[in-house]
Amino acid sequence: MSETLDAVIIGSGHNSLACACHLAKRGWRVGVFEQATAPGGAVKTGEYTLPGFRHDWAAMNLSLFAGSSFYAENSEELAKNGLAFAPTSNPFASVFPDGRWFGVSSDADVTTARVAGFSVADTAAWKQLTEEFPAQAESILGVLGAPMNLRAFTSLGWKTLRKHGAGGTLDLAQFLMKSPRAWLDQTFESEDIKATLAAWGMHLDFAPDIAGGAVFPYLEAMAGQAFGMVLGQGGADTVTRAMVGMIEAHGGSVTCNASVSAINHSAGRATGITLENGQNVSAAKAVIANVSPMALLGLTGGTGDARHDTAMKTYQYAPGTMMIHLAMDALPNWSAPELQKFAYVHLAPSMDQMARTYAQAKAGLLPDEPVIVCGQPTVVDPTRAPEGKHVLWLQVRMAPGTIKGDAAGQITATEWADAAEPFAERALNILERYTPGTRAHILGRHIVTPQMLEADNPNLVGGDQVCGSHHLHQHFMNRPARGFADGTTPLRNLYHTGAAVWPGGGTGAGPGTMLAKKLAR
């Protein structure tokens, strides 16, 4: 049995779905094939603990999607297909061992007043950052949202030079290469303010001393203050369900339980795919693979380009993440009641601790003090739990995909099947230290190990939720390999998309949208 489509897309993550929506709207016959039982990749929601408690499997923050060019172009149609957001004016905070806390809210005066509680000098720095953000954001987002090809990069360079001059352009380039610690040490004096912002680097594989990571704490702080944060009404899967509906409305299809065993190609041109059940699906215009680089190499058997294939084989991944989903009968008992208003609360007390945690995970060790990201989605969206109840979304960062030992010398297991419970207990003990009595309110819990994340979604290699390190050697024009940051591959009609391709991870659907526009122009 075989069929012929214009575009065959492997994987149903949000980049695949955005790409399929764009192409289907323009008359392409599109089919998306997903190996899992449900579409969405890391952007899906389910009742993983108890009935009525809806937990986001991996991704929770949809701010990048809400601010994306894809959403701007398709917002009305997505809304008709059920997309609904739940915004909050209190995006994130950090709490410290002494009970003090700092939070960023969308009221700049309120946030600035909180900064003043830590440092008068930092208040002036914060005000300056706030004033300069609109102009700076335009240039930074221009870089992060530009196609990584020579023509686009040259155009962007000239535009930046005209706006900022040579000095300003060089300053921007220097900032984009700075580590979080370098920028934070130059900007603030309060170690707590620094730690609050540095925690965002850990979401994207940027420990405090990794070059190129300063931009993410900066953008999260300033954008969080300017725009707040956006979650999905009822769960992050509102995005997935709306895009699937949009694809189907334009004659496309999304097929689950459909594992792809091979990408078919001959004479240097991709012609379609073979499913594990033996079915062949031909592609008249494009085979689009939203897969990890190593999976692309495996599905093609090699593209015939030695440099590209070596890059796919040696592509580097970030440390993994453990997810702990909790059904609760109350919110955590934070040291300050105001913390119960925030979507995210980070438990990452210092840059030094974050650097140590990252080094331990990179060495294959279970960190003795992992970074905890405590998501409180029912604060923003009460529909995710029965009345009066809550869900907690815990990311435990960093966690090695392959365990070589335990930095604390307490956990002897080196397989995740055995290490999951004791490592989860370590994370919950940390939460309990900051919020005494929280354990007593847990009604149900579900642990998702890095191994389980990869089994559910093979793109999350070793539990890496961003499908590959964003360090400078593997970013910009080098993501996933020099010459292929625009989604092309050495095989004609075969294209690569997803978080492994520029502009990388996050829920902004940049790789899928850019590729679709390239193909449909």
Q: Which two tokens stand for residue 39?
A: 């579409």
Looking at the DSSP bridge assignments, the partners of residue 280 are 2, 274
Q: Which two tokens stand for residue 123?
A: 């208040």
- Split at pLDDT 50, 70, 90, the class of 153 is low
Least confident of 163-172, 227-236, 282-291, 420-429: 163-172
Q: Which two tokens stand for residue 49?
A: 């603990």
- Split at pLDDT 50, 70, 90, the class of 286 is very high
Mean per-residue pLDDT, 58-66: 97
Counts of helices then strands in the chain (DSSP H, E): 17, 20
Least confident of 144-158, 227-241, 492-506: 144-158
Residue 333 has pLDDT above 70, yes or no: yes
Q: What SS3 state is found at 75?
A: helix
The closest of 193, 196, 213, 195 to 205, measured between CA atoms, is 213
Residue 1 has pLDDT above 70, yes or no: no
> Is residue 222 reached through a cis peptide bond, with omega within 30 degrees of 0 on the bond before it?
no
What's the mean pLDDT when you consider all of the chain? 96
Residue 18 has pLDDT above 70, yes or no: yes
Q: What letter represents residue 349's amino acid?
A: P
**pLDDT score recorded for residue 268:** 97
Least confident of 168-182, 203-217, 386-400, 469-483: 168-182
Q: CA torsion, points 323, 324, 328, 333, in degrees to nearest 10?
A: -90
Per the CB < 8 A criterion, the answer to whether 218 and 133 are in contact is no
Percent of the chain with pLDDT over 90: 92
Percent of the chain with pLDDT over 70: 99
**pLDDT score recorded for residue 517:** 97
Residues 424-472 have pLDDT tens digits of 999 999 999 999 999 999 999 999 999 999 999 999 999 999 999 999 9
**Residues 138, 366: Cα–Cα separation, whole Å:** 40
Q: What SS3 state is found at 48?
A: coil
Write the CA distances from 504 to 17, 407, 479, integer angstroms: 16, 30, 8
Q: Which two tokens stand for residue 408?
A: 């604390």
Residues 178-227 have pLDDT tens digits of 999 999 999 999 999 999 999 999 999 999 999 999 999 999 999 999 99
Residues 35-50 have pLDDT tens digits of 999 999 999 999 999 9
Residues 216-275 have pLDDT tens digits of 999 999 999 999 999 999 999 999 999 999 999 999 999 999 999 999 999 999 999 999
The closest of 432, 318, 322 to 370, measured between CA atoms, is 322
**Residues 393, 490: Cα–Cα separation, whole Å:** 41
- Split at pLDDT 50, 70, 90, the class of 86 is very high
**pLDDT score recorded for residue 347:** 98
Residue 172 has pLDDT above 90, yes or no: no
Q: Which two tokens stand for residue 28?
A: 């392409």
**pLDDT score recorded for residue 156:** 67
Mean per-residue pLDDT, 494-513: 97
- Long-range CB contact pairs, 73-82, < 8 A, 24+: 74/21, 74/25, 74/246, 77/246, 77/249, 78/242, 78/243, 78/246, 79/242, 81/241, 81/242, 81/243, 81/245, 81/246, 81/249, 82/238, 82/241, 82/242, 82/245
Q: Counting every residue, how long is the chain?
A: 521
What phi and psi, each to the nearest 5 degrees, are found at residue 13?
A: -65, 170
Neighbours of 211 (CB within 10 A): 15
Residue 164 has pLDDT above 80, yes or no: no
**pLDDT score recorded for residue 440:** 97
CA 104 distance to own-chain centroid = 20
Per the CB < 8 A criterion, the answer to whether 40 and 240 are in contact is yes
